[in-house]
Amino acid sequence: MPRAAANLLFLTFASVGLCAAQSQVLVFSQPASSCPIGIQAQPTPGLTQMVVHGTPPSRDDSNRAEYPSQQSLRLLLTNPKALGITGIELRVHGLRPGGHVEPVVSPQQGAGALDKHLELQLVVDPGKRATRDVRFDGFTSIRSLDLESVTYSDGSVWHATEQQPCRFEPSRLMLVASGN
């Protein structure tokens, strides 16, 4: 094994050991080359729930409104630009309640797929980070977030394009409190 590969392997295991010793680890995602900001979406403990009113949910779609579900995320935004941010638009991709069967390879989304548009008014100063807790009604899981636009303090707006999409996936790590 080449020396560089051995060193990289050692650093990887050392990092995992250090992370395991910490009670909480937050990793900020760096913006992809086509993304003007960094976003990390962290599940919010205790706010993900399915509300059931007395009887078990039916698999029949006509009863779905009686059994709303919701997912909550903490969005951690990093602004590497010299301009402040005043707002962002996201498209959220996930699943609705109920059983789903999806083909392994398919250009189309399955019947359980759910997309929603979200506009957030917020302030992220140049070179700073900010957080925002967001609740998504009707979702049982969130698969990804597409950043569609960023509005800056000078009035300019960045838009994602089909050639340069800006997609983030929520962390699958759920932080929980320890009993110590």
| CB 116 within 8 Å of CB 63 | no
Which range, of 55-64, 94-103, 121-130, 159-168, averages the lowest pLDDT? 55-64
**Separation between Cα atoms, residue 33 and residue 36, nearest integer Å:** 8
Which one, of 4, 44, 59, lies nearest residue 131 by Cα? 44
Q: In a 10 Å sphere around its CB, with 0-12 CB exposed, 13-18 middle and 19+ buried, how is residue 29 labelled?
A: middle
Domains located in the chain, CATH noted: 27-49+67-98+109-172 (2.60.40)
- CA distances, 143 to each of 92, 108, 168 (Å): 8, 15, 9
- Give per-residue pLDDT as tens, 41-96: 988 865 444 444 444 444 444 444 444 677 888 999 999 999 999 999 999 998 88
